[in-house]
Every structure is written in C-alpha cells, then in structure tokens.
Chains A and B, each alone.
Chain A
Amino acid sequence: MSSVLQVAGLGKRYRLGVISRGMLYKDVQSWWARVRGLEDPNSQVSHQPKTDDTTGESFWAFRDVSFSVNPGEIVGIIGRNGAGKSTLLKVISQITAPSRGEFRLRGKLASLLEVGTGFHGELTGRENIYLNGAILGMSRAEVTKEFDRIVEFAEVGKFIDTPVKRYSSGMYVRLAFSVAAHLQPDILIVDEVLAVGDAAFQKKCLGRMDEAAFQEGRTILFVSHNMASVRELCTRVIMMKSGRVEADGEPGETIDRYLDQSTLDWDGGGRSGSGRLRVTSVQLLNAAGGRVTELPVGEACRILIGYENRGLTPGDEVTVGLSLHSASTDIFCNYSHFSGRTFANLGERGCFEFSWPSVDVVPGHYTLGVRVFANGDQHTGERLDTPPPVILPVVPSDFHGNGDRALTNFGVILVRGQWSVRGV
C-alpha cells in the first residue's frame, strides 16, 4: 500500500536573537556600524565567525525526522514538553515552513491545533460552520452535505441560528470539534484539543476519530500527553525526544518505554547545596501505580524522587521535602519530618516516595520544588541539594462526580462539599 504522508529528513530551526530585534532603526544602526567598520552595537556576543549555517544563535526544534504513514493509521506522537511534537505538526500542517528536508502528502490535510479557530462571535452557529469548514478546506457543497450530521453531533440543536457569542463554552467547543470531525480530510492532525469538553463528549470524539480511521480509511496524527487515550486510539506511536524520533512502533511497547524514562522536566535554573546527595529524577505514579506525566485532579498519586548518594555517611539523617507553587502563589510544602520520618543508611541509589492522598488543586501547570537536608530540618540542617523545580501539569477530571470536567479556575484549591437548605 502506498503511503499518504512521507516525511524525509525534516527539520525546523529557530533563530534566536536575530528576529527578535524587530525594529527597523536597530537594523539600520547595525548596518551603519558595519559600514563604518565598527562593531555591531546590537550583536549578541562579540565576534562569531559568520557562516551560512550560523547567523545568530539558533536551535533545532526538531531535525532529521523521517517517517511515512499509511492510510487508515492512527499515529500517536508522544514526548515531553519541548520534544518538538507540536512544531513538527505545525510544519506538516503548513503553518510554518521547514528549514530542512521535505514532506509529501496525498490528498487533503486538515489540522486541528485549536478548536474554533476562525469562529466569529457575531455570526450564528450555522454561518460559523460554513466559515470554519471553509477555513479548514471544505467547499460549501461539502459542508451542506454534512451539515445535519455536524449539528446533531454538536448537540446544539435549536441554537444553530443564534450568534455563537451567546453560546456556553461547552457548546462552542462541541460545535467547533464537530465541524472538524466531519471534515473528511485524508489526513487529520489533532493536537491536544481533546482536553476540553466533558467526559462524554471526549469519548464521542475519540469514537468519531476511530470510526474515521477504520471505516473511512482516513489517517490521523494525534499528539497527546494523555497516555490512556493514545493507548486506546492509536495503531502506532512515534516517540520524540529532544527533536528526534526516539522510537516508532507498536503503541503499548512505545508508551511503556516512554513512561519508563519519563521524569518530569527540570524547569531550568541551577542547583544549590553541598551535593553530598543529589536528586536525579522526579517521577509521577497514579493511584494504580502506573507512570504518568500529569496528574488528574482529585485522585491520589505518588511522587518518586530519585537520588544518588555522593558522600553521605551511614549516620547522616536525611530529611526530604517538596513544595508546590503556582504562577502566582505558594501552595504547600511538606517535609518528611512533618510525619516523623528521616532517612539514614541510604544506599548508592534509590528513591524517596511521597504519597499524596488527593490532588485538590485547580487544573493548570505548577512547579514542584524538591529539597534535601541532612541532620536537621530546613532551618538547622545541612542543605544537600535543591535541584531546579520541575513542571507539574494537573489536568481536569470529574472532580465533583457530576460528569462535568470543565472545572472552575477560581482560586487555588478545589473543595468537595455538600449543600442543603433548611427553613427556619
């Protein structure tokens, strides 16, 4: 069978520093300085030999990526933040051009990097279906053919002639996804958009994608951090690491391999501490003990903090602690000595385990700080190691048990409670 998508040696390089100048007068200034034989006042660092390949600093979002995809395949693309997945999909969606290599495709490609792109609040649901369809590459005749099914799938019924600015966010998302789900492209690219909407609708979308691939022979490229849905949906998984294809093959195997090596990403920054003990990794386990890369709200989890002993004596008593921070505030800290534990006789390698009974924070991205002390607490002990914080994604779940995953983003924590009313 001939492939529908062939990617050969594809790479995307971003230049740093050169583009961000962004002001004409600075370019003129640089040019004038060069004309007079002076040093460019806007150059980054002194003199770097200028060759074709290195103008300014640059980095490859991904490079040397090659693969081909057959019709009917659902290919999951997984990898940590910054592994190049999303940029790869952007290039294949023709949103931005590759810096090296090429790709070829057969048929029509539609990408869904964000639902509702091009929706206009003043237009009615009906008008937006046509507009969105056209933006995604459908003709009016094609939209008309699918129109009833789109409306039915989106469950917006009688509101179809109401301007979408009056829609609830749920209706908006359902309508947007519904248009995309009925696009009938030969290749559909989906990036994380399923994280929105309630559980039932998510399931419906996954079902629709499954149907599109298996019954209609369409090809789907699917980026997600949700390993459960990748495992369920995909027939093949490509794992990316630092901009290159690290593994490509059967889903179960590839996902396991990914999770085995998946530690959370260090959020940059240096370390401090004596270094007699070093924190080497931070991993997440869900309630069932499986490795995950993000935590669902309201569920139990365990955090594994890997260490390497670089000079502790058996008598040293180690206290380990962690702290959670949002962008705006500190949320909590917890040290092992709070619950009466310090650790002595540590081996060469191992891991501390923190059991977190219920992750009751508002969904979002948090940073997790880890600290290790010897012979005392955070005030009196020897600071062994403070690695850079890690990013901890917390994702929505059916926290209140009412089937609604669209949780509030008010405040910091989520609380389960009971309401009642009593007359006086």
Chain B
Amino acid sequence: MSEKNPKIRTGPAESAAADQGRQPAVKAPAGEGGWTTVVSAKRPLIDFNFGEIWRYRDLVYLLVRRDFIATYKQTILGPLWFLIQPLFSTIVFTIIFGQVAKLPTDNIPPFLFYMCGLVAWGYFADCLNKSASTFTGNANIFSKVYFPRLTVPIANAITNLATFGIQFALFLVVLGWFIWKGAPIHINYRVVILPLLILQMALLGIGFGCIVSSLTTRYRDLSMLFGFFVQLWMYASCVLFPLSLYPESVRWLLVLNPMVPVIETFRFAFLGAGTVEIPQLLAGAAVSLVIFVAGIMIFRRTERTFCDTI
C-alpha cells in the first residue's frame, strides 16, 4: 500500500536521519530482521521484560523522586508521621499483648520486641499494599501511554526504602537507649544479612502485590478482602508473638509463610533472640522467589488487556 504513496520527500529525510544522533536501536541494520519491537496477538507463556525495564531505569528513578517529593512537599509533618505511626503501634501492642495478655517475648523487653517486628513488617506491608494497587491506582496513566508497567511496583519498593530507613533509624535509637540502660540485648554479626532480608521482603511484596493487583482488575470486591488479609497475615508472621511460642509440632506449618523466617531472623540479628534455622530461611527465600516469578507472569498477562476492563 505504501508503495503507491507518491508524496514522500525522501532525500533530506534520509540524510538528516543519518546525521542526527539517533537511538542505537535505529542505527542497527535496517534489514528485514531489524525490527525493534514485534507485538503479536500470540503470546509466549513466560515473557519477562527485564531488559526493557533496565532501559527505563531513568523512569524508575524519576518515579521514586516524584513519590518522594510529593510526600514531603505537601506537609511539614510528612516525615514525622512515619515516626509516629510505628511508635504508636508499638505502644498499643506493648500494652495489649505485653501488659494485659502477657505474651512471652523471648526475654526481650516487649517494647523492643514489638517495634523490631513492626518496622520490618511495615516495609513488607508497604510494598505489598502499593503493588496491590498498581493497576487500579494508575488506570488513568496506563490507558494513555505505554511504558513497562512493572516500573511502578519496583519504584514503589524503592520509595518505601526511605520510609523504612526513617523507621529503622528510630528503631536503632530506641535499641541504643535500651542497651545503654543495660537490657539483655545481643546485637550480633548476623545483621549483615539485613540487605538480603529487605530484598526478600521487596520481592515477596512485589510478587504477591502483583498477583492481587491483577486479580482486582477483574474482581473489584477482592480489594475489600485484601486489607483484612494483610492484617491476618501480620498476626501469622510472628510480629506479635515469637515462633518459640508455638509447639514444635506446628512450626513446620508456619514455615510455609515466608515472612516468619524473615521476621525471626531480623529479630535474631538485632536483638539476639529468636528461632532461626537455615533450612527455614532458605525455604522462605525459595517461596518468595516463586511468588515473585508467578506474580510477574500474572502481571504481564494482565497488563496486555487491563485497559479494556476498566
């Protein structure tokens, strides 16, 4: 069809294109196989686009920057809320579970015990919640412009690191104060595992969040259940009671929850008490990885036609 077209001014177009500093992709041989993008109705089952996301790394950076600025510009109290929130929860849990219910805390001062768990859980829950609203929260922009959709949950996980950093610093201050007061805390070399724990929480949060996000595009009523579910998940993740509280016979069940070893290890590293077994830790990491991969597969499937369903 295009051959019929008489009005293309070829000369200057070609020479200008050659002069300009164009994208490498375009400079690539323009032979019959030189297509940069092929989009087909047929779709492979496993279709990751990590290369593309890497090309869009500047977008990830700018999304992180945007969320960061948007959060901090609006209120003076902005960063302060991040401190008030875990402090307040910790106080409530200390009173209810420590003072009233008198649940054991592996001989750690209850305040420290709860705060440690809540700070770690907070990062995971943030990643999970933000990822879970990827599609519904960005429907407007997703239906107007293409970019790799996964950049959004990835950017969220990075932005959440800032919140986590603030809360973690607060935790360290509280920890220091307790050590200075002579509390029986044994912070130990295992803290070096912290980056890995954060990575695992990010992968699990993004993966599970992507699954939820994909499902909620189809079933809006799931988002109601989801908030409740996250709450329950926290109770089942040893944030409020140590793994040692459970009888040996049921502990294997909790290992299915990859957040249990994460929280226990986190506490073991910083407070020196907890139940950590290497096989559990590895199993948790493996489960997280599987959920992450599954999440991305479902996410990739959903993003193709998501705009048709909103």
Q: Which residues of A line the B interface, CB within 8 A?
A: 1-3, 6, 11, 14, 19, 22-25, 27, 66-73, 90-91, 93-109, 111, 113-114, 117-118, 120, 122-123, 127, 130-131, 134-140, 163, 184, 186, 213-217, 235-236, 248-251
A24 and B221 contact, Cβ closer than 8 Å, known pairs A72-B10, A96-B304: yes
Distance of A236 Cα from B9 Cα, bound (Å)? 12
A214 and B2 contact, Cβ closer than 8 Å, known pairs A105-B36, A111-B145, A135-B147: no
In the complex, the answer to whether B308 meets A136 with C-beta atoms within 8 Å is no
In the complex, the answer to whether B9 meets A250 with C-beta atoms within 8 Å is no
**Interface membership of B70, Cβ < 8 A:** yes
Distance of A24 Cα from B218 Cα, bound (Å)? 8
Distance of A93 Cα from B141 Cα, bound (Å)? 13
For chain B, the bracket of interface size reads 35 or more
Interface residues of B in 218-233 (CB under 8 A from A): 218-222
| A247 CB → nearest B CB, Å | 10
Q: Which residues of B line the A interface, CB within 8 A?
A: 1-2, 4-10, 12-14, 16-17, 20, 22-23, 25-26, 30-32, 34-43, 56, 58-59, 61-63, 65-66, 69-70, 73-74, 140-147, 218-222, 304-309
A100 and B10 contact, Cβ closer than 8 Å, known pairs A2-B30, A108-B26: no
A93 and B145 contact, Cβ closer than 8 Å, known pairs A68-B1, A120-B70: yes
In the complex, the answer to whether A101 meets B2 with C-beta atoms within 8 Å is no
Q: For A248, list chain B residues within 8 Å (CB).
A: 1, 4
A134 and B41 contact, Cβ closer than 8 Å, known pairs A71-B17, A96-B305: no
Beyond A94-B146, A216-B17: 19 further Cβ-contacts under 8 Å?
Answer: A2-B30, A2-B31, A14-B308, A24-B219, A24-B222, A70-B5, A73-B8, A96-B305, A96-B307, A97-B39, A97-B43, A97-B305, A106-B30, A127-B66, A134-B147, A135-B59, A140-B62, A236-B2, A250-B7
A23 and B219 contact, Cβ closer than 8 Å, known pairs A102-B41, A122-B74: yes
Distance of A183 Cα from B12 Cα, bound (Å)? 20
| B85 CB → nearest A CB, Å | 22
> In this complex, what residue of B is CB-closest to A114?
B144
Contact of A136 among B38, B61, B145 (CB under 8 A): B145
Q: Sample 27 A-B pairs with CB under 8 A, ordered by A number.
A: A2-B32, A19-B218, A22-B309, A23-B220, A68-B2, A72-B13, A95-B142, A95-B143, A95-B145, A95-B146, A97-B304, A106-B34, A118-B141, A118-B145, A120-B70, A122-B74, A123-B70, A134-B59, A134-B62, A186-B23, A215-B12, A215-B13, A215-B16, A216-B17, A236-B2, A248-B1, A250-B7
In the complex, the answer to whether A113 meets B144 with C-beta atoms within 8 Å is yes
Distance of A111 Cα from B141 Cα, bound (Å)? 12
4 nearest CB pairs, A to B:
A102-B40, A217-B17, A97-B304, A72-B13
Distance of A314 Cα from B69 Cα, bound (Å)? 77
> In this complex, what residue of B is CB-closest to A116?
B144
| A46 CB → nearest B CB, Å | 25
In the complex, the answer to whether B20 meets A122 with C-beta atoms within 8 Å is no
Q: For A120, list chain B residues within 8 Å (CB).
A: 66, 70
Distance of A193 Cα from B62 Cα, bound (Å)? 25
Distance of A248 Cα from B141 Cα, bound (Å)? 32
Contact of A22 among B5, B32, B219, B305 (CB under 8 A): B219
Distance of A93 Cα from B307 Cα, bound (Å)? 12
Contact of A122 among B13, B38, B73, B145 (CB under 8 A): B73
Distance of A93 Cα from B37 Cα, bound (Å)? 11
Q: For B305, list chain A residues within 8 Å (CB).
A: 96-97
Distance of A73 Cα from B5 Cα, bound (Å)? 9
In the complex, the answer to whether B56 meets A250 with C-beta atoms within 8 Å is no
Distance of A90 Cα from B306 Cα, bound (Å)? 12
In the complex, the answer to whether A249 meets B25 with C-beta atoms within 8 Å is no
In the complex, the answer to whether A216 meets B145 with C-beta atoms within 8 Å is no
In the complex, the answer to whether A94 meets B39 with C-beta atoms within 8 Å is yes
Distance of A139 Cα from B40 Cα, bound (Å)? 27
Q: For A94, list chain B residues within 8 Å (CB).
A: 37, 39, 146
In the complex, the answer to whether B2 meets A99 with C-beta atoms within 8 Å is no
Distance of A101 Cα from B42 Cα, bound (Å)? 8
In the complex, the answer to whether B221 meets A139 with C-beta atoms within 8 Å is no
Q: For B62, list chain A residues within 8 Å (CB).
A: 130-131, 134, 140
In the complex, the answer to whether B308 meets A250 with C-beta atoms within 8 Å is no
Distance of A103 Cα from B36 Cα, bound (Å)? 11
Contact of A236 among B7, B38, B56, B140 (CB under 8 A): B7
Interface-central residue, A1, A107, A130, by most chain B CB under 10 Å: A107
Contact of B9 among A66, A104, A131, A214 (CB under 8 A): A214
A106 and B35 contact, Cβ closer than 8 Å, known pairs A22-B218, A186-B22: yes
Q: For B36, list chain A residues within 8 Å (CB).
A: 105-108
